[in-house]
């Protein structure tokens, strides 16, 4: 891991892409790629916490992923539910806190309940915060913010960037410093649209199930060498 502590990102966000291709290369069903992806996520949480990362957010299911086959959607939801139920105690032992970003109203009720229970159980933990983005879309997040602003009866003249920031899903979470995308794709795909405007981007050809400490270190090292001007000079 890089030594320059000052240059360590506080919040690392990951677009976990390539599970399907990983499975296809092995002649396996796509869902086995997602299952291996969940294991990779578990190890990545440990590696990120060990590296000193305070917030790790991962894109697990996007608002666009509803277009996938019902077998894949149901399977993925089941993998998430089982995984969280089985691993939340271990996360708590590491002082990790689990949070969710996204819409909840379209999820299977048992998954939504599992999310709520996991959030409640780990609410007071002060170690790494793991944010699972599920039924998350950056545009949807902005639409949801605007709806709440209207519901609150805010006057147009009081609508500012800071106000909108306060209406995003997790306003207390710092903006992502670094967004990593695996599998060779180089797009944001509707991830962290509002909060990710100044994020550094890092792309790797590694498929998500093969992601490991070495790739994480390489991303952190690349980040540590970049200068972040955020529009300044
Ligand atoms: C993208 O690969 C991956 C997903 C849409 C799912 C990511 C979900 C996990 C890794 C499981 C998360 C588990 C928990 C416990 C939250 P893809 O299917 O688009 O792969 P492809 O582009 O190769 O087809």
Note whether residue 168 is domain-resident: yes
Note whether residue 4 is domain-resident: no
Domain count for the chain: 1
CATH of the domain at 146: 3.40.1180.10
pLDDT band at 4 (very low <50, low <70, confident <90, very high): very low
Q: Which residues of 122-147 are buried (b: 16+ CB within 10 A; e: fewer)?
A: beebeebbbbbbbbbbbebbeebbee
Which atom number of ligand 1 is nearest to the Cα of residue 134? 16
Q: Please name the residue whose Cα sits nearest to atom 13 of ligand 1.
A: 38
Cα(51)–Cα(30) distance, integer angstroms: 31
Q: Report the chain's mean pLDDT, rounded to a whole number.
A: 96
Note whether residue 184 is domain-resident: yes
Note whether residue 230 is domain-resident: no
Note whether residue 76 is domain-resident: yes
Site to substitute for ligand 1 among 36, 60, 100, most atoms within 8 A of C-beta? 60
The mean pLDDT of 216-228, rounded to a whole number, is 93
Cα(220)–Cα(215) distance, integer angstroms: 9
Contact (CB, 8 A) for 7 and 176? no
Name the residue with higher pLDDT: 179 or 229.
179
Residues marked active site are found at: 17, 65
- What is the model's pLDDT at position 2? 46
Residue 233 pLDDT more than 80? no
The mean pLDDT of 149-164, rounded to a whole number, is 98
Residues with CB under 6 A from ligand 1: 16-21, 34, 37-38, 41, 60, 65, 79-80, 83-84, 132, 208
pLDDT band at 3 (very low <50, low <70, confident <90, very high): very low
Note whether residue 65 is domain-resident: yes
CA of 7 to the centre of ligand 1 (A): 29
The mean pLDDT of 103-112, rounded to a whole number, is 97
Tens-place pLDDT, residues 32-71: 999 999 999 999 999 999 999 999 999 999 999 999 999 9
Q: Please name the residue whose Cα sits nearest to atom 3 of ligand 1.
A: 17
Note whether residue 2 is domain-resident: no
The mean pLDDT of 123-129, rounded to a whole number, is 98
Ramachandran region, residue 190 (left: φ > 0; alpha: ψ -120 to 50; beta: rest): left
CA of 109 to the centre of ligand 1 (A): 21
- What is the model's pLDDT at position 63? 98
CA of 19 to the centre of ligand 1 (A): 5
- Residues facing residue 99 across a β-bridge: 131
CA of 77 to the centre of ligand 1 (A): 11
Note whether residue 85 is domain-resident: yes
The mean pLDDT of 124-150, rounded to a whole number, is 98
Closest-CA residue to 219 (of 33, 22, 44, 40): 44
Q: Please name the residue whose Cα sits nearest to atom 22 of ligand 1.
A: 18
Domain span at 139: 14-224
- Return the number of other C-beta atoms located less than 10 Å from residue 167's C-beta: 19
Which atom number of ligand 1 is nearest to the Cα of residue 30? 18
pLDDT band at 232 (very low <50, low <70, confident <90, very high): confident
pLDDT band at 133 (very low <50, low <70, confident <90, very high): very high
Cα(97)–Cα(125) distance, integer angstroms: 5
Residue 103 pLDDT more than 90? yes
């Amino acid at each position: 891991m890089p030594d320059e502590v000052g240059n360590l990102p506080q919040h690392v966000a990951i677009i976990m892409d390539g599970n399907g291709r990983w499975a296809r290369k092995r002649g396996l069903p796509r869902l086995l790629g997602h299952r291996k992806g969940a294991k990779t996520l578990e190890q990545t949480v440990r590696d990120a916490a060990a590296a000193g990362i305070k917030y790790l957010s991962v894109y697990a299911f996007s608002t666009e992923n509803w277009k996938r086959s019902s077998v894949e959607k149901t399977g993925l939801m089941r993998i998430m539910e089982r995984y969280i139920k089985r691993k939340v105690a271990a996360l708590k032992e590491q002082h990790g806190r689990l949070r969710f970003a996204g819409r909840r109203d379209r999820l299977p009720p048992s998954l939504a309940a599992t999310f709520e229970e996991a959030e409640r159980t780990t609410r007071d933990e002060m170690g790494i915060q793991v944010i699972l983005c599920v039924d998350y879309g950056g545009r949807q997040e902005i639409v949801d913010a605007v709806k709440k602003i209207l519901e609150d009866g805010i006057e147009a003249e009081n609508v500012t960037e800071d106000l909108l920031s306060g209406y995003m899903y997790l306003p207390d979470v710092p903006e992502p410093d670094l967004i990593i995308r695996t599998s060779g794709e180089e797009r944001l795909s509707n991830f962290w649209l509002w909060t990710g405007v100044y994020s550094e981007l890092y792309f790797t050809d590694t498929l998500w199930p093969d992601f490991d400490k070495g790739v994480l270190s390489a991303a952190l090292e690349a980040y540590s060498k970049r200068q972040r001007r955020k529009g300044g000079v």
